[in-house]
Amino acid sequence: MKTATIRDVAKRAGVGLGTVSRVINGSPQVSEATRQQVLAVISELRYFPNPIARQLSLGKTLTIAVVVPFFTRPAQIGRLQGIENTLAESDYDLTIYNVETVKRRDICLHEIPCKKRADGVIIISLSPRDEDIPYLAHADVPVVLVDANNPLLSQLNRVVIDDVEGGRIATRHLVGLGHQRIGYISDYLETAFNFTSSRDRYAGYRSALLSAGIEIRSEYHLQGEHGRCEAYLLALQMLNLPVPPTAIFAASDTQAMGVLQAADELDLKVPDDLSVVGYDDIEVAEYLGLTTVRQLLYESGRRGVELLFKTLLDPTTEPTCETLLTELVVRNTTAPPKCSG
């Protein structure tokens, strides 16, 4: 028989996770009627609270805040799934602060990490600028950075992705197949949000080309807003060059989909006429047979929560910076070029 969780209790009683936790911990902030209702469900389901989760939640807001930009993007959904599923067995509620403007970013980084808001904060993909450091370094709650970094914040737990190596292995794969004309389509490398992933993947791309003795051609790197449609337009532009690339490395699977769409419109067969590599290995990548670089999206979210809980249990714990590796997944969109010219 499956062991009941706090979520099962909350669902059966028709209340929130925080209410169930407050009943368990004897909080006076719950009405007597609600208390008796929750206690009856606890007895019915034979729910036994996780002792570690209870220890963490005593005297707290029972909330973990996650600050994440453009949270509907597939890569962010993967990280959030790792966070949510890891929190599921605890007494904590999850509050998501979506960031889609620079003003919103500044408000979230400066105001969310405080005891009145949450017991801990996870910041995803928003690498703090130097001016953000005082707000995070002196926050009165633990802060964990996931897919974000600033070397001056060594006192914070960080889960980072080796995107430079990811860009390198994607490009090496294409070079190994015999491609000499390799394009790179990405987000803007410099943004007000200080995103670093496209920039790091570009550094890996350049490194692999230089190591192979291949000339870096500026016309083979196009950048724009993130999205399939934008990547489609950039790919059309690149593939209509007098001497187009024989392969394109896209900074995300979403952008690789735009490249595939452009190839189809130009009657280019993939991979015979054009090889395509993406990045992330989101669910649709397998469906499309897309060769891509897999990053551990779910795992990064899970590890972020685990590091946060570790600090909540023992604030004197030394912070760590964990680097998650990337892996090339070869499918059906890459092959040797038709000719070397």
- CA dist., res. 124 & res. 119, Å (int): 17
- CA dist., res. 191 & res. 198, Å (int): 10
Tokens 């469900």 locate to 41
Report residue 159 CA to chain centroid gap.
10
- CA dist., res. 112 & res. 341, Å (int): 55
- Structural domains in the chain plus CATH codes: 6-49 (1.10.260.40), 63-161+297-325 (3.40.50.2300), 163-295 (3.40.50.2300)
How wide is the angle at C-alpha 275 spanned by C-alphas 340 and 251, nearest 5°? 125
H-run or E-run covering 294: strand 291-294
User: Residue 336, Cβ neighbours under 10 Å: how many?
Assistant: 16
Identify the DSSP state of 281.
-
- DSSP states along 120-179: EEEEES-PPPGGGHHHHHT-SS-EEEES---TT-TTSEEEEE-HHHHHHHHHHHHHHTT-
Tell me the C-alpha to C-alpha distance, in Å, between residue 116 and each of 27, 65, 92, 119, 178: 17, 11, 15, 8, 57
- CA dist., res. 247 & res. 270, Å (int): 10
Per-residue pLDDT at 59: 60
Per-residue pLDDT at 341: 44
Residue segments in the chain with a per-residue pLDDT below the cut of 50: 340-341
- CA dist., res. 190 & res. 172, Å (int): 25
Do the strands 291-294 and 327-329 form a parallel or antiparallel pair, or are they unpaired?
A: antiparallel
Tokens 């790919």 locate to 235
- Among 193, 142, 180, smallest CA distance to 275 is for 180
User: Residue 2, Cβ neighbours under 10 Å: how many?
Assistant: 5
pLDDT tens-place string over residues 262-305 = 999 999 999 999 999 999 999 999 999 999 999 999 999 999 99
- CA dist., res. 133 & res. 68, Å (int): 17
pLDDT tens-place string over residues 314-332 = 888 899 999 999 999 999 9
Tokens describing residue 7: 């979520």
pLDDT tens-place string over residues 139-155 = 989 999 999 988 888 88
Report yes or no: 120 and 157 within 8 Å, Cβ to Cβ: no
Bridge partners of 143, per DSSP, are 121
User: Residue 215, Cβ neighbours under 10 Å: how many?
Assistant: 9
Per-residue pLDDT at 263: 98
Identify the DSSP state of 81.
H
Q: Record the pTM.
A: 0.81
3-state helix, strand, coil in the chain (%, to 5): 45, 15, 40
- Among 2, 9, 5, smallest CA distance to 23 is for 9
